[in-house]
Chain A
Amino acid sequence: MSSHDEKVVISGVGLITCFGVGINPLWDAMCEGRTGLHRIERFDPSGFACQVAGELGDEEFNVRKIVPKSHRKATKVMCRDTELAVGAAANAVENAGLITAGNSDETPTIAPDRVGCHIGAGLISAELNELGGALVNSKREDGSFDLTHWGAEGMQNLSPLWLLKYLPNMLACHVTIVHDCQGPSNTITCCEASSGLSIAESRRVIQRGDADVCLSGGAEDRVNPLALYRQHCTGRLTETDGSGEMSSVVRPFSDTANGTVIGEGGGIMIVESATSCESRTGIPWCTIEGIGCRQSCTDSPLDADSQTITSAINRALDEAKCSASDIDVIVPLGSGIKQVDSAERDGLTAVFGDALPSIPMITTIPYTGNCMAGNGAIGIGVAAKAIKEQMIPARLGADSTVGLSAGTCNAKEMNINRILLVTPSEGGQCVAMVLGRVGT
């Protein structure tokens, strides 16, 4: 058999969002129409135009509690992004019913050299208190910074392993150590498209025969002054001091949309060959039926392009051997960034035509904020849950979204066989994915 044709499934879902660890806290909130966005508490955001985020409280998640004792010391060199990835991975492994070095001393379900790991990551921003606390030692009396002092003495105030906290591949590094994943491992850094592209790569790795299972997805923390400022520089954030109604801060596809908000979180999926899943009597959430990846060539890397979106979707549909009429639900990026929303609308219209307004959408950013490299994985996890529950959650944002079924609504049951996800990213990458109900 050609491994190119190997069917690949999602056999475990691990999420981490502002609602906590796992798909259920998020799913419950989404079904109730309850946003997780609030005014930032981790630092005083008063100096920023956008003071709202999807922030996970310390009481909801402590990475030290979920890593094996042997890895507890290493948590000291984890940045927040890595903590999130490690949390999501533990949740995914448990959800899939896998035994790994991370949760048991028993023989692992899958041989370590057959387990890959592809985790999307962002540009990890330094913790300013850590870096600032070191830099301030090299401040001259006149207030200027003394680089000569820094080179000779000041840098000694930084922890020796400081750099290792901020390399994007440290998310995968820690996860592979905790779960003893010795197969192919990669770190995709393509902003919002990172998670989807990671899953595309995991599937390709499995299909070419280099792994049976991959821990795959992405995570990112943007609730940090430097990261928030960098997003501010893109002009993509809405302006809010956090005093208004949080459920409509982000209004995807609305005429009144005026930007997005950031979040922290992400997800790890257990991407597995159907043969492997079946042989260990795993229970797949859904199948990965088709993926399309494209690049836009717009005049600004911050803009999305409808043609690119259309092309990515068509490629995903081709691979899935289905047509637009076979899609029951769409999970767009739905960021509330006007230009990106507009490109998504046009790109989807080119594929679905007049049928588009009748296809319900699921939008996650009004609940979690834009978790960038982790955002796609959150969408994929929610889509997998929707297929499993045969239900779409409530939508937040605006009442009216002309030409799209993306306005506010309650949760509802529906027959779902296929969901299309599409994620255009800052930087111009775009990934579309068709997930299918098992057995259809």
Chain B
Amino acid sequence: MCRHGAWEGGYMTRVVVTGMGWVTPLGHDLDTVWERMCNSESAIELIDRFDASSFPTKFAGQVRNFDWTKYVNDVSVHRSPALNSQFALGAAKQAWEQAGLGQYSELNFDRAGIYLGAGEGVLDFSAHSMIDTHAWNVEDGKIDSIAWAKFASEQLDAWGEVEQEPNMPLWHVAKEYGLRGPSFNCLTACAASTQAIGEATSVLLHGDADVMLSGGTHTMLHALGITGFNRLTALSTFDGDPKKASKPFSRDRGGFVMGEGSGMLVLETLEHALERGASPLAEIIGFGSSADAYRITDLHPEGRGPAAAIRNALSQAKINPSETIEGKPLIQYISAHGTSTQENDSIETKAIKHIFGENAQKVPVSSIKSMMGHLIAAAGSVELITCIMSIQTGMLVPTINLDNPDPELDLDYVPNVARKAQVNCCMSNSFGFGGQNNTLVVKRFDE
């Protein structure tokens, strides 16, 4: 029975990236964000979207000065999109324009689909907390559902509640561009957008579409989101300069820093891209997916799930991780999941070493979460774009705040300063709360 490597055996096409866009805490266009990352800048600041001054975590990577209305043709079509949909519209516009699809009149919209890894909309915590506390029946020790319904109808914005559904960004983006092909949204926590891009690639290889807009969008930067992660003790509670809080692979890393935003890519079959005269930016050559199937709160101590995802992605890409050419591994950069939690960074390092063996120390690995925080469902798409920018510019962005390396973690994490490098092939990891693991392999386009 056919196991790994079926893509090459079963499909007659290749999938290329022809457009990219992002909205991140470091900026809202490719060049600005890239330049700031190359300059080792941090976007982590005190939260000002709500009063977080008493919260254990008071800082985050917050998208600022972003006006979604500049990225759509007709604002009224979108009514009042939630913040995640606003980010998605911004990133999608950049990707669509870079791909030149706005000027392409022959697009078959039934064969133009969308696959997002989008999170839920932003909960109106102010209204919900008021309603829940007012409807609380002290004597019964529970909510009075009749009172709750009354307060809810008075206080909640009905459309705002509809916008909570995780598939709403899908609708907004599809509506903006008239995409009528295959349409999916997945939400596998921090792994979602990597998974979306991998499965969108699979949709193209399967022959169900010519073009797929894919990526992720998410914000959990609201009082209940920060509460949830604070209670999990997953967030950093660093009490110094917020810009120093996200420190993947450091000995004193103390949890992740919340970010928000969106990354979008236009994926196409190679034939379709070439036929319309598009210039491929890179080619997606491998996707691996696995489940930890271990415990609710812990990763498998040997990194079984992440290692399987990496192994499967490299296998599909037909890359032998042990092989070198002129002393260099075939993967020249890994965009790490690199959350800055003790467990993740340790397990990810272990998984990379397990798969790459003696080559592991030769592959530069960095985490952009050190600079912009963790974009949760959107993280993987932004990190894949980082890989493609590395291929295009010959620069590796750093892991900042790596002044006190963990002696147990001994890979080349590109500490603190960007570096020049010849990069042809990269790998991007995303591992989600809940145990889903996804890895993509992308390479320089070569006809």
Contact = CB atoms under 8 A, between A and B. Distances in A.
B152 interface: yes
A168 B166 contact: yes
Interface stretch (B143-151, B244-252, B404-412): B143-151
A233 B162 contact: yes
Given A189-B185, A294-B183, A308-B180, A4 B175 contact: no
A169 B296 contact: no
B187 to A, nearest CB: 5
B433 A212 contact: no
B136 A136 contact: yes
Nearest to B129: A145
A342 B148 CA distance: 34
Interface string A333-370: 00000000000000000000000000000000000000
A145 B126 contact: yes
B162 A174 contact: no
A202 to B, nearest CB: 11
B14 to A, nearest CB: 15
Interface string A179-191: 1111111111111
Interface string B1-26: 11111110111000000000000000
Interface stretch (B31-39, B153-161, B259-267): B153-161
Interface residues of B, number: 102
Interface stretch (A24-32, A89-97, A159-167, A406-414): A159-167
Contact of B229 (A4, A131, A163): A163
B81 to A, nearest CB: 10
Interface in B193-220: 195, 199, 202-203, 205-208
A17 to B, nearest CB: 23
Which of the listed residues A43, A159, A311 has the most CB atoms from chain B within 10 Å of its own CB? A43
Interface residues of A, number: 106
A414 to B, nearest CB: 32
B206 A184 contact: no
Contacts of A139: 133, 136
A233 B290 contact: no
B50 A427 contact: no
A155 B132 contact: no
B2 A1 contact: yes
A379 B392 CA distance: 48
Contact of A132 (B11, B136, B203): B136
A155 B5 CA distance: 48
B186 A187 contact: yes
Nearest to A144: B130
Nearest to A170: B434
Contact of B142 (A47, A129, A428): A129
Interface in B389-431: none
B147 A163 contact: no
A4 B136 contact: no
Given A187-B188, A208-B10, A209-B10, A173 B165 contact: no
A149 interface: yes
A281 interface: no
A177 interface: yes
A135 interface: yes
B296 A204 contact: no
B291 interface: yes
B135 A149 contact: no
A234 B167 CA distance: 14
Interface in A211-249: 212, 225-226, 229-230, 233-234
A429 B297 contact: no
A197 to B, nearest CB: 5
Interface string A403-440: 00000000000000000000001111110000000000
Contact of A45 (B145, B184, B189): B145
Contacts of A209: 1-6, 9-10
Nearest to A298: B175
A123 B164 contact: yes
B7 A133 contact: no
A386 to B, nearest CB: 27
Interface in A46-69: 46-48
A121 B187 contact: yes
A170 B228 CA distance: 15
A56 B252 CA distance: 49
A331 B223 CA distance: 43
Q: Most chain-A Cβ atoms within 10 A of its Cβ — which of B9, B181, B186?
A: B186
Interface of B: 1-7, 9-11, 50-56, 77, 110, 113-114, 120, 126, 129-130, 132-136, 138, 141-143, 145-150, 152-153, 156, 158-159, 161-162, 164-168, 170-171, 174-175, 178-189, 195, 199, 202-203, 205-208, 223, 227-233, 289-297, 304-305, 308, 312, 432-436
24 contacts: A4-B207, A47-B148, A77-B296, A129-B142, A132-B143, A158-B227, A163-B229, A164-B433, A169-B187, A169-B188, A169-B433, A170-B434, A176-B435, A181-B293, A185-B289, A190-B183, A204-B199, A209-B5, A229-B149, A233-B158, A233-B161, A294-B110, A294-B181, A428-B183
